[in-house]
């Protein structure tokens, strides 16, 4: 990982360009599953483990497929799962020397920068994503509130 939440920065431009086309739930499930060992270590105060097989092209595609399968009838769900899988591999691959993203190539040919640099690049996108999420949640609550029956037909005294 860079910090797992930074992965969500990927969704900001995607949501802007293709609103409503990517499932946040499947995107979250795949990213959390891939980084499960890191999340567990962070929560329990353990040292961070090495990136294992799950941080490889085969590993993320398996996780993406396992999450995509239950919602295979919904393009939004499948797109979210595979977008998370591939963007996770790319973002982590850019910074982690211990990864071996492609089993047929020794080492990590994706690595070109350090975590601080990538985090600085992703931070504005993550903030953009937070603004999008808060804004759309607020719009949803307003819409639901306006649709409540008593709003249009107040109870009689």
Taking the complex as a whole, the smallest distance from the CB of residue 83 to Zn ion amounts, in Å, to 15
Beta carbons of 112 and 94 less than 8 angstroms apart: yes
Residue 1 sits in the site that holds Zn ion (CB under 5 A): yes
Beta carbons of 131 and 47 less than 8 angstroms apart: no
Size of the site for Zn ion (CB under 5 A): 3
Burial of 37 (0-12, 13-18, 19+ CB in 10 A): middle
Residue 26 sits in the site that holds Zn ion (CB under 5 A): no
Q: Using CB under 5 A, which residues numbered 112 to 151 contact Zn ion?
A: none
Q: Using CB under 5 A, which residues numbered 70 to 99 contact Zn ion?
A: 92
Taking the complex as a whole, the smallest distance from the CB of residue 112 to Zn ion amounts, in Å, to 17
Residue span binding Zn ion (CB under 5 A) among the ranges 1-9, 65-73, 74-82, 105-113 = 1-9
Whole-angstrom Cα distance, residue 68 to residue 22? 12
Whole-angstrom Cα distance, residue 90 to residue 101? 9
**Pick 25 or 90: Cβ nearer Zn ion:** 90
Residue 35 sits in the site that holds Zn ion (CB under 5 A): yes
Positions that interact with Zn ion (CB under 5 A) = 1, 35, 92
């Amino acid at each position: 990982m860079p910090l797992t939440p930074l992965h969500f920065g990927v969704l900001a431009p995607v949501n802007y360009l293709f609103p409503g086309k990517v499932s946040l739930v499947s995107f979250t499930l795949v990213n959390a599953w891939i980084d499960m060992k890191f999340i567990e270590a962070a929560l329990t105060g353990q040292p961070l483990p090495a990136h294992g097989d799950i941080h490889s092209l085969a590993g993320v595609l398996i996780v993406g497929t396992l999450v995509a399968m239950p919602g295979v009838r919904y393009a939004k769900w499948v797109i979210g799962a595979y977008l998370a899988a591939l963007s996770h591999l790319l973002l982590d691959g850019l910074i982690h020397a211990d990864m071996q993203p492609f089993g047929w190539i020794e080492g990590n040919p994706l690595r070109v920068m350090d975590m601080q640099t990538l985090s600085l690049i992703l931070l504005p996108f993550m903030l953009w994503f937070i603004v999008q999420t808060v804004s759309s949640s607020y719009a949803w609550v307003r819409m639901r509130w306006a649709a409540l029956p008593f709003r249009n037909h107040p109870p009689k005294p």
